[in-house]
Amino acid sequence: MLLRLTIANLAILENVDIRFQKGFTVLMGGTGAGKSLIIDSLSLLLGQRASSELIRAGESKATIRGEFSSSSPRLKALLGSLNVPFDSEVLAIERTIGKSKSTIKANDVPISLSDLSKIAPFLANISSQFDSVKLLNPENYLSMVDGYKANAIAPYLGNYKEALKRYRVKEEAYSALLKKKEKLESEKDFYAFQLNELKASSLQEGEQESIENEISLLRN
């Protein structure tokens, strides 16, 4: 859940501080008031690429900060792997957009945009009027099923991933053995061909010495 959103010097938004409560929140305002910019700010906190053109005129940087609450064990494990503290079940994401450099922090720990994209699905989801089209794409089915009761299926999903990892290791080893077998069979056929050629030549003991003597005699 999004608890608080603060925005400083983003486009026409100079200083915005919104505290959210449980339930339904409605943003109201006239055209050009900045409603869409608030949604855009949230998108930036969820990993959308930023441009320095978003910085308010006359300012050197723009800052967006969001505080999210979550009790997801998967999020806690992910943050742990990134060395991000997560003891109070509140995660603060802060993104600073500069004219030459931008930074992202999670609970005051610097992270990359790639890391943020991994964290974002646990924090919020932005839906639009055309999102129903996603239901028609079979590629989205698995993520939808996994997203339902995610905490409950997390242990089973973890076991599945570990089993899949072990299977792929065995599969690679089996594939390597098949390639080795194919190579040995190819070499066997080649050696069998050479053996048949030697047998067909009806070579006799001492024949090479006799031929060499004959060649030497002919040369003289």
Tokens 């065995």 locate to: 170
Cβ–Cβ < 8 Å for 56, 79 = no
Residues 13 and 122 in one domain: yes
Residues 135 and 151 in one domain: yes
**Domain termination residue (choose one: 70, 92, 126):** 126
Selection from 89, 97, 11 nearest residue 48 by Cα: 97
Residues 136 and 110 in one domain: no
pLDDT at 195: 87
Residues 161 and 90 in one domain: no
pLDDT at 181: 92
Q: How many domains does the chain have?
A: 2
What is the Cα–Cα distance from 72 to 64, expressed in whole angstroms?
23
Residue numbers of the domain that contains 176: 129-220
Q: Per residue of the chain (220 residues), give pLDDT as tens.
A: 899 999 999 998 889 899 988 888 888 888 888 888 888 999 999 888 888 888 989 899 999 999 999 888 888 889 999 999 988 889 999 999 998 889 999 999 999 999 998 999 888 888 877 777 777 888 778 777 777 777 777 788 889 989 999 999 999 999 999 999 999 998 998 898 888 888 887 777 777 888 888 888 888 6
DSSP codes, 135-200: GG-GGGHHHHHHHTTHHHHHHHHHHHHHHHHHHHHHHHHHHHHHHHHHHHHHHHHHHHHHHHHHHH
Residues 142 and 179 in one domain: yes
Residues 144 and 177 in one domain: yes
**Domain termination residue (choose one: 126, 146, 175):** 126
**Domain termination residue (choose one: 80, 100, 126):** 126
CA 134 vs CA 23, 127, 138, 145: distances in Å? 26, 11, 8, 13
Residues 134 and 122 in one domain: no
pLDDT at 217: 82
Residues 113 and 133 in one domain: no
Residue 68: which CATH number?
3.40.50.300
Residues 97 and 181 in one domain: no
Residues 110 and 135 in one domain: no
